[in-house]
Amino acid sequence: MKKILSFSVVAAVVAALALTSCAPQATGPKKIVIGASLPTQREAVWVKGRQAMIAAAAAAGVELKVLSADADAAQQANQVESLLSQGIQALILAPADATTAASMADKAAAAKVPVVSYDRLILDTKNIALYVSFDNEKVGELQGEWLTKAVPKGNYIIMSGDPGDNNAKLFKAGAMKIIQPLVDKGDIKIVADQAVANWLPSNALTIVEQALTANKNKVNAILAPNDGTAGGAIQALNEQKLAGKVAVTGQDAEIAGLKRIMAGTQGMTVFKDNRKEADASVQAAIALAQGQPVASITYDGVSANQTVNNGTFDVPSLLLTPEAITKANIQDVVKSGYVKATDLQ
Ligand code: BGC
């Protein structure tokens, strides 16, 4: 994985540019500068998102400064301050922690910098111009629909993502919309229900190991919120020779997840083409930096005509559509160019 520029390198480059700025300059419109702060580069979705943002900015002829926070909210706060001090005209922010990020959005607003909340919603602030994401409740519904079809009756382990990520709540709400009625009917029994701190596969592994032990391996289905946590769950199943016998969901169309679908140890994943999400965010950030109204922003035929409540207000939202992937339609991911056919061999 390519390491992104550390703050000190960025600062050094900025200082060097400042020194050369004494030289005579061509006159012309000033280049738009966009800042972006991503929560992590651990999952491939964030790596691909970053690459797509860089490509989108280059294509649009704007400057993009993109940093990643190693899942650390304090580090992200410092990075956002640094970006703001560098005179960015719009901020794309995917929070490491949804509520801590409110103060970052507020600082951006104080500096008159519009904020695009990217993939994950920033909670408890009015200072978000636009939320660009997927229909995250739908992601959960796709997981719940596949899982209840695969296992209409039986013992379920329910895992949700990191509690500091608002998406985790939306994914779970969507999945439970489908699963809960079958629990109420008595067909499904939930034998464990736990959040996976920090989305860490190792935490998912422990949760599933413990649930298997507590239930003498009598588990039929596992709701895993993404491919990383599905990987941890399947490792725990493997230890008990149960991999392939217990239905497991996922999300992200990661190569490892797609390979497990081919091997039959994971049943499904959810494909969110985050190249589009990243591209849409950069386009939106440019429009906002130019002072265009949110209502005028559209991407790929989708407009910002939806809202998602963040605890303070209904945030204007541009939501892309996720797709459920099983062995039957795995080629959709290849055809889109998101992964190569050779990646799956
Ligand atoms: C993203 C998922 C990702 C997870 C862990 C969520 O906010 O929507 O795609 O797997 O974070 O990084």
Same domain membership, residue 181 and residue 160? yes
Condensed to tens digits (0 to 9), the pLDDT of residues 204-227 reads 999 999 999 999 999 999 999 999
Q: What is the pTM of this model?
A: 0.91
User: Mean pLDDT, the chain, as a whole number?
Assistant: 93
- For residue 63, what pLDDT band results from cuts at 50, 70 and 90? very high
Number of other CB atoms surrounding residue 118 within 10 Å: 31
42 and 144 fall within a common domain: no
Does one domain contain both 166 and 57? no
Q: What is the pLDDT of residue 69?
A: 96
C-alpha torsion 294→297→298→303, nearest 10: 10
227 CA to middle of ligand 1, Å? Answer: 9
Q: Report pLDDT for 342.
A: 96
The pLDDT confidence band at residue 27, using thresholds 50, 70 and 90, is low
**Top-confidence residue, 4 or 191:** 191
Pairing of strands 302-303, 323-325: unpaired
Average pLDDT, integer, range 268-279: 98
Atom 12 in ligand 1: which residue has the minimum CA distance?
Answer: 43
Cα(245)–Cα(219) distance, integer angstroms: 9
pLDDT at 18 over 50: no
DSSP code of 329?
Answer: G
Task: Provide the domain limits for residue 203.
Answer: 137-272
Range 3-32 average pLDDT: 51
Q: Are residues 264 and 143 in the same domain?
A: yes
Q: Counting atoms of ligand 1 from 1, which one is nearest the CA of 165? A: 7
154 plus 229 within the same structural domain: yes
pLDDT tens digit sequence for 48-58: 999 999 999 99
Number of domains in the chain: 2
pLDDT at 40 > cutoff 60: yes
> What is the pLDDT, as a whole number, of residue 105?
98
CATH number at residue 38: 3.40.50.2300
Mutate to test the pocket of ligand 1, among 120, 196, 226 (most ligand atoms within 8 A of CB): 226
**Per-residue pLDDT, 4:** 42
Q: Is 114 a member of any domain?
A: yes
pLDDT band at 30 (very low <50, low <70, confident <90, very high): confident
Within a domain: 177 = yes
User: Is residue 154 domain-shared with residue 247, that is, in the same domain?
Assistant: yes
Q: Does 207 reside within a domain? A: yes
Structure tokens at 268: 């499904």
CB-based pocket (< 6 A), ligand 1: 43, 45, 119-120, 161, 165, 167, 199, 226, 251-252
Q: What proportion of the chain, given as a percentage, has pLDDT over 70? A: 92
162 and 103 share one domain: no
250 vs 271: CA distance, rounded Å = 10
Confidence of residue 12 (pLDDT cuts 50, 70, 90): very low
Residue 3 is predicted with a pLDDT of: 40
226-255 pLDDT, tens digit per residue, is 999 999 999 999 999 999 999 999 999 999
pLDDT of residue 245: 98
The residue whose CA has the least distance to atom 5 of ligand 1 is: 199
**Where is 221: in which H helix or E strand?**
strand 221-223
- pLDDT of 9 > 80? The answer is no
Question: Are 142 and 203 found together in one domain?
Answer: yes
Residues 38, 155 within the same domain = no
How close is the Cα of 189 to the center of ligand 1, in Å?
A: 27
Q: Check whether residue 268 and residue 168 sit in a common domain.
A: yes
Between CA 56 and CA 118 the distance in angstroms is: 15
Report if residue 235 sits inside a domain. Answer: yes
Length of the chain: 345
pLDDT of residue 28: 61
Assess if residue 167 is contained within a domain: yes
The closest-lying atom of ligand 1 relative to the alpha carbon of residue 39 is: 12
* Section 99-119 average pLDDT: 98
